[in-house]
Structures are given as structure tokens and as C-alpha cells.
Amino acid sequence: MRKYPGMRDVPPHERAAFSVLFFLEHWFPRSERLRQRKEAVRVRIVDHVRRGGKGKVLAVDRRRDLSPRDFRAQYLRRGLPVVLEGAGRGWRCTREWSFDNFRRRFGPETIKLVQRKGVAPDDEVIDGREFSEEIVFSEFLDQVLEGGRKYMRFSPLLEQFPELLNDFDQGFLRSMPGNNWGTTYQLFIGARGTYTPLHNAITPFFFVNICGTKRWQFMPGTYLAVLDPPAEGVTYNHSAADLGMSNLDRYPGFDCIDRMEAVMQPGDILFNPSWMWHCVQNESPTIGVRCGFVYPPGMLRESLTCTSIRAFAGNPSMLKTAWYSFVKTDLPNRDSLLVTPKVFTK
């Protein structure tokens, strides 16, 4: 785990102890002894963080005309977020996509909105489980503009309408990280006031902000013990720690950790590294696309613990996913054992 410029650290031996116990918790979720030892380490880390006083809010770098070489040296390899200011302003998606454009092109389509535990507010999931609903796309867009609470997150719209891929600068997405391995596209559309709670995942990504204003908050994995995610073994980690500091009794010390902040305008592109904790607030009706890619050095360097959990103890693990993808391909229910369900449907 690296140190982040200007941000207070947590003693390496305490971080390591918590990380090992968090990993073991995925294998022995019912062990009371393990839970108690993990809690004791968490308390020590919280006490250390609190001694530093209230946390600072640091601005994420905003860069113009950043070359691929400089991006890789200064941000990708260092695991730091950055806003590439106006970098997508000339892309066709930024020039042409809008609520009216989508209504005209895809309005009659029926879509499925999926809300997953931890990456949707509690009032958007039912009994802590994944919740989905079907809605006509034009009706969904109208309710977004009217301030409705339905929020499209992590939606693979471009899989259903592959012609939209032509609206992205594929050269940029390939040249900046130096490859385009495993590139995935996920659409986000939400009204003013909608948000995605704190979470992190193994895949780094570029986020292309097409319209509207989004406010991002970032926290490194240094503070894993304070954020105290549940050991659920899903493909992402999540924390219910509230930036409004309403639940400090459950997440003591959260008000004392440093964080980074960025505000995105139309045409901005944000880079988020592997395993960087983040939450996002829409300050106006927004459309944006998450462009994820594979970067193994960052996955290991930013959190060996979380990557190991994802590889060996995930639900499903990367090993199980590879097994059913490339070896055990003759099972009738094979697709249900793989990673992510389709979010859009005809």
C-alpha cells in the first residue's frame, strides 16, 4: 500500500494486521475470535487517525493536454486520480448525446434498472438485496429531468446499442494506459441529488462526463479499517460511512480521515485507479460513461489484500470465473455462475 501526497498515513504494521484479518474473514465469516481480533486492530487504527484531528479535503489535480507518457508516469503508476480537463469535449458522445437525443433514438425501448447493495442508497434496495425494475427509457429520462430518484448505474447500454461505441475516441482510451485490455463501458444517468455511496473495485477506469455536473470524493485504501466494509466477497467493496457524518457512532474516525475531491463538468474525463474508494453526487441531471480497463500492476500495487480476496475468495472468485469461462463450458447454468448480469433487456 502506497503513501499519498499530503494525506496522513496509518502505521504499516496495523494496516497489514487489519488486511490479513479482513482476508481471513472471507474464509471464516462465523469466527467470533477472528472478529474480535479484527475489531481490536480497527480500534487502534481509529485512535491513531483521531490523534491527527479533523480530516483535510484535498483537490484532485486538474490537467490539460496531459500526454499518455506523463499520465502513466504521474498518475497511473502512482495510483492517483486526475481530471483531464476538457479532454472529451470534442468526442461525438459529448457533442451529440443528450436527454433529447436519447429519447429520440431509444425512447420506446424497455430498460431494466438494477440497484445493487452498497452501491445504491438503502432506500433503493429491498431487504438488502439486489433490486431491479423495468421501465420505458423515455419515461425514465423524463423522471430524471423532473428530479426523480431512479438512477441508472453501471448499465451496459453500449452492449445493446454497439453503434454508440463509435462515439468514443478509442485511440485515447488505448493510448493513455498503453493498452485497451478488457475495456468495458457502463452508462450512468441520474437526476440532481442522486448519488452512489462509497465503494471500490479492482478495475481502474476513465469516466467521461457527457452532460451535467458531478462531485466526486476519493479515499485511498489506507483507511480500510475506518471504512470497515463487510466481508461479503462480492466483486466490489462498499461502506455505509456517510460524508454528512451522520453515523460516526458506527464509523468512528471517519471525520478524521483525509480525502480528495473533484468536480466534473461536461467534457471532462476523470481517471480513477484500482481500489480507490469513491462516492459520487450528481449536482444536476447527468449522463456519463465509465470506461473500465485492465491494469494488473495497479490491481496488485494498490491493494494486494483486495486483489487476493477477489482472486481467491470472491463470489465468484476470478479463478472460478476463469474456470467456467475457459474450461467448464458445458454446464447448462454456466452463465449464472459468471460475474455480472445484463442490465438492459429488449
Instruction: Report pLDDT digits (tens) over 20-74.
Output: 999 999 999 999 999 999 999 999 999 999 999 999 999 999 999 999 999 999 9
Q: Which residues, in sequence order, are CB contacts of 160 under 8 Å at separation 6+?
A: 109, 344, 346
pLDDT tier at 334 (50, 70, 90 boundaries)? Answer: very low
Strands 259-264 and 277-282: unpaired
pTM above 0.75, yes or no: yes
> What are the C-alpha distances in Å from 304 to residues 70, 130, 218, 322?
25, 28, 19, 19
C-alpha cell at 155: 448499465
Return the higher-pLDDT residue of 299 and 317: 299
- CA separation for the pair 138, 343 (Å, rounded): 17
Mean pLDDT of all residues belonging to the chain: 88
pLDDT tens per residue across span 261-287: 999 999 999 999 999 999 999 999 999
Torsions phi, psi for 122 (to 5 deg): -55, -30
> Which of 128-132, 237-241, 318-322 is the most confident on average?
237-241
Q: Where are the domains of the chain?
A: 55-337
The separation between CA 346 and the C-alpha centre of its own chain, rounded to angstroms, equals 26
The secondary structure of 259-303 as a DSSP string is: EEEEEE-TT-EEEE-TT-EEEEEESS-EEEEEEE---HHHHHHH-
Exposure letters 51-74 (e unless 16+ CB within 10 A, then b): eeeebeeeebbbbeebeeeebbee
Identify the CATH number of the domain defined by range 55-337: 2.60.120.650
Which pLDDT score is estimated for 303?
93
Q: Strand pairing partners for 271?
A: 82, 206
